[in-house]
Structure 1
């Protein structure tokens, strides 16, 4: 037993001297670093009108979506915040947490991918757990002109 302890220590010392494991070329090719993954999954969209601007930045992970959403609508309070939700049936359905005049609020937002770009849907809303949500997502109005189109992310 006493003779096996020095052998065990010797074997452990040899194993620890192997150095760091190098990834195979296949592992490297199919495992992008975090910075590269951010570039792949991040997209930016903007509506720019005469006096109105809406900017949406999205990060997509499968069907989950997070990002930022900023509104600057003429003669209305600016608001800026984050979205968290999902992509379903060519739509973004998300909870929008935003700041406006120093107050934090939440509401549901729904954007549909149309031929013109991403358009926010508007319709009757109700309060669920204190958060305004759309009563019927299938009957939202997208007939307005504020289409968010792709732009380079800053």
Structure 2
């Protein structure tokens, strides 16, 4: 019962931290993965190339992923959003709700996990039911932004 309360308390704390997120930042590590048996732990990935920064910070619980994804690209609109998805083997498929210039944008995002990296999936996109999705998942290629695993702070 103590373990359940511990997980519930810290899950709520993580959700509160994500709700207050105003930009791409790293969140405090609440429960780091200490063995392969751990099913709830934080993941933190980032890419910093010249003046571009991308941060993915999330809580993994089983194969479910909930967190934040932020793009701060030089001379482009900054996108910061909440991420909700699931791991399918080595592939993270998620929906990200971004706020861009005061407007909400819901987008499908996909990342392939390769060792300690997450590589962004790219393909043509279309709008379907108010959500931006990949037009043809058969033409998806993983050569987008490369996120490196970083310590959660």
Shorter-chain TM band = 0.7 to 0.9
Q: What is the distance in 1 between the residues matched to 2:151 and 2:5?
A: 21
Q: Secondary structure at the match of 1:33?
A: helix
1:31 to partner: Cα distance: 5.0
- How many matched pairs? 126
Q: TM-score, normalised by structure 2?
A: 0.72
Q: Which runs of 5+ in 1 are unaligned?
A: 1-26
1:92-132 alpha-carbon deviations (Å, 9 max, x no partner): 11111011111111110111112471011110222221101
Q: Equivalent residue for 2:148? A: 149
Deviation >6 Å, runs of 4+: none
Name structure 2 gaps, 5 residues minimum. 12-29, 33-40
Correspondence 1:20-39 to 2 at 5 A: 31=4, 33-34=6-7, 38-39=30-31
**Larger helix percent:** 1
Structure 1 or 2, whichever has the larger Rg, is 1
**In the TM superposition, what is the alpha-carbon distance from 1:83 to its structure 2 partner?**
0.7
TM-score, length of structure 1 as denominator length: 0.72
In 2, are the aligned partners of 1:116 and 1:147 still within 8 Å (CA)?
no
RMSD: 2.1
Quote the residue 2:93 is aligned against: 93
